[in-house]
Amino acid sequence: MNKPLRRISIFCGLLVLALLLRTNWLQYVKAEDLSTRKENRRVQIAQYSAERGNIIVGGGQPITGSVVTNGSDYKFKRTYLDGPMWAPVTGYASQAFGSTQLESLEDGILTGNDDRLFFDRTIGMFTGEKKQGGNVVTTLNPAAQKAAFTSLGNKKGAVAAIDPRTGAILALASTPSYDPSTFAGNSKADEKAWVALKDSEDKNLVNRALRETYPPGSTFKVVTAAAALEHGVVSDIDAATDTPEPYILPGTKTQLPNHASGCEKSSLNNALRVSCNSVFANVGDKVGRDKMLETAQKFGFNNDKIDVPVRAFASVYDKNMGRDGNAQSAIGQFNTAATPLQMAMVASAIANDGKLMKPYMVEKVTAPNLDVLQTHEPEEMSRPLSPANAQKVQQMMVNVVENGTGTGAKINGVTVGGKTGTAQHGEKNAKRPYAWFISYAKTDKGSPVAVAVVIEDSAADREDITGGGLAAPVALAVMNAVLKNQG
């Protein structure tokens, strides 16, 4: 072969090699990136080419469905049963605007594309059966969710309820909410509904139970009580403390006001009952920032990886504040911030004798034929306090409900522990305060439910906004619903 032909042959060979390398690069290395690009409409078309599997709540009740879409290359559109009530659980799956929460995180199962459904897809190719998505079975209790949603009503707020024994989430409500069905398609009507929600000042699309943090106010005093007992600052909850009246924040000349009377030298038990700011600020200062931080973090604060499986925002206990900031944080103010889920975890750990179970809301995922593909096993997350100290805090929380600020949560024949909170916020605390209530119910069979409620805004006058008056009735309704469901 002469030299020119040899050069041409080598050049052509290099071109073929480059083509093979490029093809393999695209098919194997970049395949995942290309298939998941937003610009690749074929992925979305395939996503809605078959009926999605369902999200299911307690008792086997599906809260989602699919209908045929007319005049679109997306064959099926998502539908929702009681959409506004369940939106904080399901999220949304929209042909035009993507998906969130369980609809997004469990998309592989729901569309039937998950690797665990490979066998089902293969069999379907030979039998001619239509492709179907699998199902996501949640831990949600329909009665508890309805009680939470209807009790919140037109108030802006959220509820999180947990089974302390397992960590299973029983209710997750957020108001004002939205109906995912209104923008599940890709029509002009869907776009109009989406724009209205996206630009809403009420932040309807935000899951307040998981994705909004608030100053927890006096509900955080339960954490401070736990820290005081665990670190030996207090051993007898009925013994007098050395709290002066008035109490001056350490290192300042600022007096910390009490909204209760009889707080001077009050015991920890009585101070929680009437919610003395001075006692818990004093106790928090004696525990010290680092040990307060240690206890708060065992309850879940500062953890930015609490996935249920939707990731909750991290609740915050400041790591760098001074003594005065720590004293204020000990009563749930200053920079302290918590999600409703976090405060339900606090109540849950206390109710479960000091053992905090990791919260979760997917019990299992199943194939279209209902074969179980994966089951969640309850998992211990931490031990914020010993059983003996947890029982002391239980005693204090029961006192709050029986004789203190939380009497609105009493249930005949059931032991209920709780803590109210009214959290100030805004510049110079000028905005309407947040109303909080955390609680648990306990029977002779154990504690089946712990609840946290926050009312973010209310039409009530400022002086009438209290955790006991606004939030406790919501928690009561949720606890009753769970207890009735227990039989």
Q: Which two structure tokens, joined as six digits, stand for 157? A: 């707020």
Task: Identify the residue with better confidence: 115 or 106.
Answer: 106
CA 346 to CA 216: how far, in whole Å?
A: 11
pLDDT at 398: 98
Span 60-83, pLDDT tens digits: 999 999 998 876 777 889 999 999
21 — pLDDT class (breaks 50, 70, 90): confident
SS3 107: helix
Neighbours of 110 (CB within 10 A): 29
**Could you confirm whether 66 is annotated as catalytic?**
no
Phi-psi region of 20 (alpha: psi -120 to 50; beta: other; left: phi over 0): alpha
CATH number, domain 211-362+377-485, options 1.20.1250.20, 3.40.710.10, 3.90.1170.20, 3.40.50.300: 3.40.710.10
Q: How far apart are CA 361 and CA 45, in angstroms?
A: 29
- How far is it, in rounded angstroms, from Cα 44 to Cα 59? 32
> Which residue has better confidence, 424 or 152?
152
Q: Out of 95-104, 162-171, 318-327, 456-465, pick the least confident.
A: 456-465
How many other β-carbons are positioned within 10 Å of the β-carbon of residue 197?
A: 21
Structure tokens at 163: 């089974």
The pLDDT tens digits for 346-375 are 999 999 999 999 999 999 999 988 889 999
In this predicted model, which residue has the larger pLDDT, 179 or 433?
179
Percent of the chain having pLDDT more than 70? 88
Name residues whose C-beta falls within 8 Å of residue 200's C-beta, 6 or more positions apart in sequence.
Answer: none
What are the structural domain ranges in the chain?
Answer: 211-362+377-485
pLDDT of residue 34: 62
218-254: b (≥16 Cβ within 10 Å) or e: bbbbbbbbbbbbbbebbeebeeebebeeebebbeeee
From the candidates 99, 218, 267, 275, give the one annotated as an active-site residue.
218
In total, the chain counts a number of residues equal to 487
The stretch 247-254 carries a mean pLDDT of 95
Amino acid in the structure at residue 304: D
Q: Residues 224, 216: contact at Cβ < 8 Å?
A: no
| Confidence band of 273 (pLDDT split at 50, 70, 90) | very high
Is residue 461 scored above 50 in pLDDT? no
Inform me whether the pLDDT recorded for 100 exceeds 50: yes
**What's the whole-number average pLDDT of the chain?**
89
Q: Which amino acid is at 299?
A: F
Q: What is the pLDDT of residue 8?
A: 80
Q: Check residue 383 and give its pLDDT.
A: 98
At residue 460, the pLDDT reads 41
DSSP state of 300: T
Using CA atoms, how far apart are residues 324 and 141, in angstroms rounded to an integer?
A: 42
